[in-house]
Structure formats: structure tokens, C-alpha cells
Amino acid sequence: MFGAGSIGSCVGGMLARSHDVTLIGRKANVDAVRAKGLILQGAIRRRLRIDARESISDLSPPDLLIVTTKAYATPAVIEACSGWPREDTIVLTLQNGLGNLEQLRLWRGDFALGGTTTMGASLISTGVVRVADVGRTVIGSDMNSGAARSVVAAFRAAGIPTKTTRNIWGEIWSKAIVNASINPITAILKISNGESIKNRIVSKLMMEISREGETVAYNRGICLPYKSMYLRTRAVARQTSSNKSSMLRDLELGRRTEIRNINGEICRMGLDAQIPTPLNAAMVAMIESFEHSVVEKG
């Protein structure tokens, strides 16, 4: 598991029940897991002794590399792992944002699989993850159905509801549009996901942001799996009503956000196709201003 944050730790912890798993993450989290084990709370309750490291040095190439880092770290993951001699390692992205799978496929070809998950997990403290819901995980079988089936089997054996789809691009884009419509709004207003749909004006903003994303996706030939991304966004906000978005948490912790890989990518592709995306651009500008102010204060 390259990226031992909330989702990476949760997925890795569940897979460790039936597989040998190594978590790669930040020093603080790695130190905590080494000292007291990985602690899962909530819907999944267990304490595991699991291998945790800050880098892949001295690791043999794995059967499966799952990437759960921030989207902006994808090039660093590829650089770190590109020296592995093994040619049949499967690479799976469960990241947020757009552009991750494209980069991984330039590196690994059809051994790179796209994936999405609605697993609800949050890092309570170093080494401690609260699991709200195991959710639904989808693995793309568009280029390598055999590899996708083997990953699904491993996930199901670990108790993670998982299925394959040939429309992985639609799944990735639908998740990106949902994130683009919820994350920056909640980060700017400092509210939970559920609060974003309680106000009529905020809900209208969410609707227009999602419509811009839909327009860009359709222009690129993406078949979105939902008739209305706005209704899908509202459903996700309700399902995760008590959660803080990852973007809000990143700002609270003074970390870089994924705004450029989510709303920023929608804007970039919209510009290429001469499709206006002013509200997504506004979200990028505001979140970037918060990031800069955090850096200046620090």
C-alpha cells in the first residue's frame, strides 16, 4: 500500500487478514504502527501487527502495488518504483482526482488498473483509523480482465465488497465530479459534507459545479454511470454527512490539497475544448489562496 493515510491504512489493514501487506507512509504514522500496531475502529474493529515503512527500499517487487497517495504524488510513486525488475506486478490506483491512471499506464501498460472506492475512513490519530463504512470498490477490467479478476478476488476474500467494470473511466470521472462539487465548498466554508446540502444557495453552487464537470466529461466521450451528477453528489453528501472532506482536513493540517488534480483538471480540459468552467476555476483560486496563506503563516 503506497500511501498509508486513512484509505490506504484501512484497505491495507483489511487485506492483511489474508495477505502479506506492507504500508508505505509518512514517518509519524509508520512509527505509530510499528510501536502499537494498526488500529481499526468503527465498522471494522481490530488491531494488527503489519509491516510499515517510509520507503520501498529493500522491498522485493510485490504481486500488487496499490497506490493511495495524494494525486500530486503519483509521479514520485512511479519514480520510486520504476526500478523494480519484475514485469508482472499489477498496479492499482484508488486515488482521488484525474490523470492518475493515465500516468500509471504510461509506466505499466495494461498491468495498471483503475479503481474507485466509496469506503468511508478517517485517520483519528497516527496509527488509528475509524472505518465508517466499507463501501463499494470498483476495479477496471477494460484492458486486463484477468488481473482485475484476481484483484477483486483478493479484496472479496478480505471482506471488501468489490466488482469489476469495463467503464472505469466513467467511475473515475463521476468520483472526480463529486469531489469537485463537495470538497472545495466544505473546505472554504469549514463545514461537514452534510451541511453543504442544507443551504439553498450552496446547493445551487454545487449543482453548477457538477454541471460544468459533466459537460467536460461528455465532451471527452466519457460515459458517466449516473444520469445526474448533481443528484449523485447530493446522495454522497448525505451518505457521508458527518464526515469532513479530505480537502478540509488538508487545510486544517496545513497540507497541500488535491484541488489542481480535481477541479483544476476539469478546468484544464475545459480550456482545451473551449468549454467555460468558471465555478471550478473559482474553487481552484480560493483553495490555492488558502494554501498560500497557510504557508505564509507557517
The 10 Å Cβ neighbour count of residue 254 is 11
Residue 232 above 50 pLDDT? Answer: yes
- CA pair distance 9, 22, nearest whole angstrom: 10
Determine which one of 175, 190, 227, 297 is catalytic. Answer: 175
Helix crossing, 168-189 with 200-219: angle to 10°?
150
Distance, in Å, from the CA atom of 49 to the CA atom of 298, rounded to the nearest integer, reads 35
Indicate the domain borders of the chain: 6-166, 169-297
Per the annotation, the verdict on 227 as an active-site residue is: no
Sequential DSSP letters for 122-156: EEEETTEEEEEE---EEEE-SS-HHHHHHHHHHHH
- The pLDDT of 203-220, averaged and rounded, is 98
Task: Answer whether 67's CB lies under 8 Å from 93's CB.
Answer: yes
Instruction: Look up the CATH architecture of domain 6-166.
Output: 3-Layer(aba) Sandwich (3.40)
- 239-296 pLDDT per residue, tens: 888 888 999 999 999 999 999 999 999 999 999 999 999 999 999 999 999 998 755 5
Distance CA 138, CA 3 (A): 19
pLDDT tens-place string over residues 17-50:
889 999 999 999 999 999 999 999 998 999 999 9
Once rounded to an integer, what is the mean pLDDT over residues 141-154? Answer: 97
CATH no. of 169-297: 1.10.1040.10
Task: Label residue 297 by pLDDT band (50, 70, 90).
Answer: low
| Tens-place pLDDT, residues 80-131 | 999 898 889 999 999 999 999 999 999 999 999 999 999 988 889 999 999 9
- pTM for the full predicted model: 0.94
Number of Cβ within a 10 Å radius of residue 41: 16
The pLDDT score that the predictor gives to residue 29 is 95
By percentage, how much of the chain surpasses pLDDT 90? 89
